[in-house]
């Protein structure tokens, strides 16, 4: 198969519904771990992650925090709406997805049970820009009081107290995501200390995961897909840690596709650059990776940009075989599911 022939259907696969994890495991580190090295597949447990890493490696984590982004209100016409806050851009401004029987118009109001209301300012593609009216708390504080945790669409239960804890990483710090960086959900404090004791270093970045992460690619030609934008920030300390790791011959291990996208977006000119920005980077087979050597990731939706990213990183055929193995071995899929540790393989397809 030549690269130019790749289409969206090349990233489809059959997944039995019962393999979609609906609840987290009893403990964060109790997940299974599928190791995809350059020449082999190995089954193991996440608690043994340190066996696959070595002193001098650098784990790069995404410290974004999931906000309570799902709300329900009533338009000034009386119609009910359900909304998902996609991205807060200022204290009282946000881009949101709105589901309603009739779309709200610019200038319209949406009122909420606590008395606050939005003014709809404009629509771009499938997002609305809204302002939160009044002198009360800004968007983040208001959502914390009035919103609901936005579980992924394939998780069928209503978010509860368990999800409030387990759909956040233990190191979540910067509010702004509407979906968790799920590879990080497997870590607890003891695991992080175990890795430090083994000489594996850690660094942090922030990428606020948007709801577009769950959207399948709806066009057949990958070049026609428009990637959703996500904001990220690379601290100076992280850029310096990556440079030190590379200089001593260690490996940069991205914890999750979100960390990988941020690192690669900030490496577009060569060496990793510290700073903040916004990325629409769409990584497909043929992409030349500049920074990341190893990827820790969950299993991803069919026809998704995340599955395409992993296939670009490790090779289309190798990832296809790994997913077939995972289905056969009854791994648990998606956000509350199991994980893969994947080596970069530049010469595989």
pLDDT of residue 3: 45
How many CA atoms does the CB half-sphere of 27 hold within 13 Å?
Answer: 9
Alpha carbons 192 and 200: distance in angstroms, whole number: 9
CATH placement of domain 70-146: 2.40.10.240
Structure tokens at 347: 């010469």
Asked whether the beta carbons of 327 and 15 are under 8 A apart, the reply is yes
Rg (CA), the chain: 20
Longest dimension (CA), the chain: 64
Structure tokens at 323: 């997913």
Average pLDDT over residues 325-332: 98
Asked whether the beta carbons of 184 and 169 are under 8 A apart, the reply is yes
- SS3 category, 209: coil
Q: How do the domains of the chain map onto residue ranges?
A: 3-66+163-343, 70-146
Alpha carbons 72 and 161: distance in angstroms, whole number: 19
Whether 1 shows a pLDDT value over 50: the answer reads no
> pLDDT tens, 4-58?
478 999 999 999 999 999 999 999 999 999 999 988 999 999 999 999 999 999 9
> pLDDT tens, 268-300?
999 999 999 999 999 999 999 999 999 999 999
**β-pairing verdict for 252-255 and 58-62:** parallel
Alpha carbons 231 and 275: distance in angstroms, whole number: 11
CATH superfamily of 3-66+163-343: QueA-like (3.40.1780.10)
Whether 212 shows a pLDDT value over 70: the answer reads yes
> pLDDT tens, 62-109?
999 999 999 999 999 999 999 999 999 999 999 999 999 998 999 999
- SS3 category, 297: strand
CB atoms within 10 A of CB 129: 18
Alpha carbons 208 and 180: distance in angstroms, whole number: 9
**For residue 349, what pLDDT band results from cuts at 50, 70 and 90?**
low
Average pLDDT over residues 300-304: 95
Sign of the dihedral through C-alpha 48, 52, 54, 60: negative
In the numeric block, the tokens 């190191």 are attached to 171
Alpha carbons 189 and 195: distance in angstroms, whole number: 10
């Amino acid at each position: 198969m030549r690269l130019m022939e790749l289409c969206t259907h090349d990233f489809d696969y059959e997944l039995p519904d019962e393999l979609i994890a609906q609840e987290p495991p009893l403990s964060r580190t109790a997940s299974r771990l599928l190791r995809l090295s350059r020449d082999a597949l190995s089954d193991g447990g996440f608690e043994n992650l340190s066996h696959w890493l070595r002193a001098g490696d650098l784990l790069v984590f995404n410290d974004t925090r999931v906000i309570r982004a799902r709300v329900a209100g009533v338009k000034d016409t009386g119609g009910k709406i359900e909304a998902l806050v996609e991205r807060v851009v200022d204290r009282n401004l946000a881009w949101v997805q709105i589901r309603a029987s009739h779309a709200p118009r610019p200038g319209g109001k949406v009122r909420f049970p606590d008395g606050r209301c939005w003014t709809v300012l404009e629509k771009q593609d499938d997002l609305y820009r809204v302002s939160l009216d009044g002198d009360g708390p800004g968007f983040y504080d208001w959502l914390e009081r009035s919103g609901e945790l936005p579980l992924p669409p394939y998780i069928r239960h209503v978010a509860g107290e368990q999800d409030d804890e387990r759909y956040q990483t233990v190191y979540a710090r910067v509010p702004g995501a509407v979906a968790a960086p799920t590879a990080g959900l497997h870590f607890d404090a003891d695991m992080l200390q175990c890795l430090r004791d083994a000489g594996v270093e850690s660094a942090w970045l922030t990428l606020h995961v948007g709801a577009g992460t769950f959207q399948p690619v709806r066009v057949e030609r990958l070049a026609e897909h428009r990637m959703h934008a996500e904001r990220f920030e690379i601290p100076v300390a992280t850029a310096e840690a990556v440079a030190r790791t590379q200089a001593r011959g260690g490996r940069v291990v991205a914890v999750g596709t979100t960390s990988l996208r941020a690192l690669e977006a900030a490496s577009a000119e060569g060496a990793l650059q510290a700073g903040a920005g916004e990325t629409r980077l769409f990584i497909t087979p043929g992409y030349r990776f500049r920074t990341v050597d190893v990827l820790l990731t969950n299993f991803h939706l069919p026809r998704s940009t995340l599955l395409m990213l992993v296939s670009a990183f490790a090779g289309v055929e190798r990832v296809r075989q790994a997913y077939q193995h995972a289905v056969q071995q009854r791994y648990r899929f998606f956000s509350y599911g199991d994980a893969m540790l994947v080596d970069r393989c530049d010469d595989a397809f």
